[in-house]
Chain A
C-alpha cells in the first residue's frame, strides 16, 4: 500500500507530514490527530477508495486509490469522456498468458481482452468500454512492466 493517490475536493493532495494518528475507537472510526502541541478528535469513515474525514465538524470526502486503481479509474473516465480511442495499459507487471481478442474484433464493455499473470494470480484485463479492437500490442508469453500498452480500442 505504498504510493497511495489521494484526492481531496478534486485536488491531488499529499498526506500531512508530522502528524500522528491514534485510533481511539477503530470500529466507529474515531481517531485523535496530533502534531506537537496540537491535537484534535476526528472521524474516519469509508472503505475501498471512498472515504470521509470529519475535521472540526466538516465532513470532507477523500478518494484514496492505489496506483492500480487510479490508472483503471482514469482509463474508465477517459473512455467515458472522450468516446474516442482508448489505450488499455497494464496496471501491474506480469506475464501475458492469454490474448482473447484479435485486431478488428468488436468487444463489449467489460469483455475480457487478455490475461496477465502476476504474483501467481490470473488478472483479466477487461474492455473499459465497447469498441473495435484497433491494435493488439502484446502476445502470449510476453512479460510486461506496468504502464505498457496492451490493446487500443477505437
Chain B
C-alpha cells in the first residue's frame, strides 16, 4: 500500500549516534547487542561523558553550545565520514525531526535510522498534521483548521471558551496560550505569536477548544519499509508540568479495550496519510467520556519508549535499526502480546518545590535502584557538572510488574532506593505522587501537577526534626573523623579511643 520513499536499504555495520546523555547510551547498547559498532559524538563539555565511554569510537564535534555541536549538521556528517559510520541514529530532540538533516544524511550516502524526510515534513507542522488527520476521518479537537490570520477575530460560536491558542510549528508547550474569554483573545494572540516567532521562527497560530479535564494518551507505532504497520500499545502521559511529561505508564488506566481499538484505528489512519516507516508516536487527548482527539504525530523515538519495551518485550531501538536496513516486521511485533504494567518517571535536575525550575550544579552522589522489574536508563557519573546547554533530564526510572498496584509498589520501593546528592531533583515529587490516592486509583488528568502539587507540601515537623537529627549526626561524624584522639592514631576504634574522642570534643 505504501511505496518506499527513502533511500534504498543498505546493510548497517557502524552506527553514529547523533545525541548525548541517556538516549545515546541506550542506542549504543542496542547497537552492541546486535553486533554493530557504535560511534559517539561529543562537545567539549562532554569529553568524559558516559555516552563517549560507552561507544566503540567517539568524535569531537564542537564547543559546548548545542548549536555548535549536537545541532551542527556539517560537523556531525563530517564525523560520520571520518569515523567510517554507515548509518546515523538521531535519538530524540536535537536533529531527530529535522527533515533537512534527514535529507543531508541520505545525500551523504548514509542510512537514516528514522522516518523519511517527507514524513517529517508532512507532520512536523501541527496545523498541517491536524488538517491531514481530519481529512483521514480522525477526530481532532474542535477549532480552526486554518491559520489564524493577523488581526482576525475568529467566530468562536462553535469553538467556545476557554480555548487554546497553539503554534503550528510548536512543541514543548511554547507558543501556547489559554484564552478564557473574548476579552483575553487579542493579548493572548499577540503573546503567543511573539513566543512562536522567537522559538520557531514561525508565528502561524491556530485555535482549539480547551479539552479539560483531559488525559494525554499516545500510541507507539513501528512500520517497516514494506507497508506493514504495528501498534505496540498506548502510553498515558498525563502527569505533566508546563505541558511536558514527568511520568508515563502503559497500559493507560483510562483506556478500555474499545477505546484502545479506537485509538489504534486513529493512529493507523494518521500514519496512513504519509509514507511512514521506523518508529513514531501519535498523541491524543482523551476526555472523561472516552472520546479521543488527535494532537500530533512525533516522527522519532520518544523519551518514554522504554515502558512499551518492558510490557511488550519488543526492542524499539533495535527494530528501528532493522527497519532502516530493510527488514520486515515479524509477527511478534505485528501482534504484540503486552504483559503486566510499566511506569516511567523522569528524573530531572529541577526543583519541584520552586515551580520545577532547573537547578545548576553537579551530581555528587548517585545511587541507582536495582532488583527485579527495575530498569534505569541514565548517563550519570558522580562529580559530573550539569551543563546548562542541555536538557536537565538525569535518568529515567522504569518499573515493570504483573499489574498496576504491584508496579506502583515497585516504583515506591525503587524510589526509596534511589539517592541523588548535590542537586535538588524531582524525586521528591515522584515519591509524593506514588502515595496520592488519585494516582493509585488511576483517576488523574493533565491538571494533576498544577492543582494537587503546585509547589509541593510544606516540610512537616517530623521531617524537619529528622533532617535536623541527620545533619547533626553528620556534623558530629565529620568532627570525629577529622580529629585524631590525642596520642592515638586516627581510626583506632576501640571503645576507649571513641570515648576519649567524644570527651575531647565536649571541651
Contact = CB atoms under 8 A, between A and B. Distances in A.
B472 A64 contact: yes
Interface class of chain A by DSSP: strand
Contacts of A49: 475
A15 B475 contact: no
Contact of A16 (B365, B466, B481): B466
A43 B424 contact: no
Contact of B467 (A1, A57, A62): A62
A108 interface: no
A31 B476 CA distance: 14
A57 B240 CA distance: 18
B415 A47 contact: no
Contacts of A57: 415, 418, 425-431
B199 interface: no
B1 interface: no
Nearest to A45: B421
A53 B470 contact: yes
Contacts of B466: 16, 19, 33, 53, 55
Given A30-B367, A56-B428, A59-B423, A21 B465 contact: no
A64 B419 contact: no
Interface in A13-55: 13-17, 19, 21, 23, 26, 28-31, 33, 40-47, 49, 51-55
Contacts of B429: 57
Contacts of B326: none
A57 B430 CA distance: 8
Size bracket, chain B contacts: 35 or more
A58 interface: yes
Contacts of B462: 16
Contact of A60 (B382, B459, B479): B459
A151 B417 CA distance: 53
Contacts of A148: none
A4 interface: yes
B364 interface: yes
Nearest to A7: B468
A90 to B, nearest CB: 17
Interface class of chain B by DSSP: helix
Nearest to A2: B506
Size bracket, chain A contacts: 35 or more
A19 B472 contact: no
Contact of B475 (A4, A13, A28, A52): A4
A13 B477 contact: no
A137 interface: no
Contacts of A119: 507
B424 A59 contact: yes
B473 A44 contact: yes
Contact of A44 (B424, B474, B507): B474
A65 to B, nearest CB: 9
A35 to B, nearest CB: 9
Contacts of A21: 469-470, 473
Given A23-B477, A30-B365, A57-B428, A45 B468 contact: no
B183 interface: no
Contacts of B474: 29, 31, 44-46, 51, 53, 64
B464 A47 contact: no
A42 B469 CA distance: 12
A58 B506 contact: no
A73 interface: no
A9 B425 CA distance: 18
A138 B462 CA distance: 45
Give the top 3 A-B pairs by smallest Cβ distance, nearest first.
A57-B427, A57-B428, A62-B471
Given A6-B472, A30-B367, 11 more contacts: A6-B468, A26-B477, A29-B421, A29-B474, A44-B470, A46-B474, A46-B475, A51-B474, A53-B474, A57-B429, A62-B471
11 contacts: A19-B469, A41-B367, A43-B419, A44-B473, A49-B475, A53-B466, A55-B467, A57-B425, A57-B430, A59-B424, A119-B507
Interface of B: 353, 364-365, 367, 382, 415-431, 456, 459, 462-479, 481, 505-507
